Amino acid sequence: MSKPKYSIIRDAVVGRNSRIYDHVNLYKCQIGKNSKVDAFVYIEEGVIIGDRVKIRAFSFIPSGVLIEDDVFIGPHVTFINDKYPRVRGQWKLLKTIVKKGASIGAGSVILPVTIGKNSLIGAGSVVTKDIPDNVLVQGNPAKIIRRL
Ligand SMILES: CC(C)(COP(=O)(O)OP(=O)(O)OC[C@H]1O[C@@H](n2cnc3c(N)ncnc32)[C@H](O)[C@@H]1OP(=O)(O)O)[C@@H](O)C(=O)NCCC(=O)NCCS
């Protein structure tokens, strides 16, 4: 891995041939082999990312997210792990799984759900419910448009 500039990488495990670009923040997460993390991506503790995953610039991936192999995360994608955020007090960490081969379009917001294999999330979607395998969804809230 060439040394990215202005990135903060602490206790992260990054697999062979994975590329991490500049201004990235990785903390206690795991990234597989041959993956690519573009500039200004923020990945939190405990996140697991598979092999051959591509994450475009400015995405936010908090604790509780699992991304399987061959997933595409577009620019400015935001994952949510807390449905009722407050400054103080207890909170419940909720989980999201993005299954193998799925793609998430630019600017989407992903509530804690499971996104099925090979499914495609249209740009600007807000995904509020689990998405089955092999479908195209789009909109707010995201609805199934057709099978792929
Ligand atoms: C969802 C998507 C796959 C649809 O592509 P398509 O099947 O070629 O659809 P079309 O462009 O022919 O549009 C079909 C209809 O869906 C609408 N539409 C297209 N994309 C949409 C989206 N993301 N959200 C809401 N509606 C959308 C169009 O306005 C059109 O509506 P109409 O039938 O009322 O005119 C595509 O538009 C998309 O969002 N892809 C993700 C791209 C992306 O984020 N890439 C990241 C790399 S930069």
Whether 59 is in the pocket of ligand 1, judged by its Cβ within 6 Å, is no
pLDDT at residue 51 greater than cutoff 90: yes
* 80-116 per-position pLDDT tens digit: 999 999 999 999 999 999 999 999 999 999 999 999 9
Ligand 1 pocket test, candidate residues 73, 120, 138, most atoms within 8 A of CB: 138
pLDDT tier for residue 2 given thresholds of 50, 70 and 90: low
Report the pLDDT value the prediction gives residue 4, as an integer from 0 to 100: 83
Atom of ligand 1 nearest to the CA of 106: 44
At residue 82's C-alpha, the angle toward residues 49 and 26, to 5°, is: 35
Nearest-angstrom CA–CA distance, 120 and 63: 23
Whether 106 is in the pocket of ligand 1, judged by its Cβ within 6 Å, is yes
CA-closest candidate to residue 18, choices 30, 4, 3, 34 = 34
Compute the distance from residue 74 Cα to the ligand 1 centre, in Å: 14
Asked if 123 contacts 103 with a C-beta cutoff of 8 angstroms, the reply is no
* 119-138 per-position pLDDT tens digit: 999 999 999 999 999 999 99
DSSP letter at 100 equals T
Q: Which tokens sit at 43?
A: 């990945």
CA atoms within 13 A on the CB side of 88: 0
Of all residues in the chain, the percent with pLDDT exceeding 70 is 99
Atom of ligand 1 nearest to the CA of 138: 24
Whether 108 is in the pocket of ligand 1, judged by its Cβ within 6 Å, is no
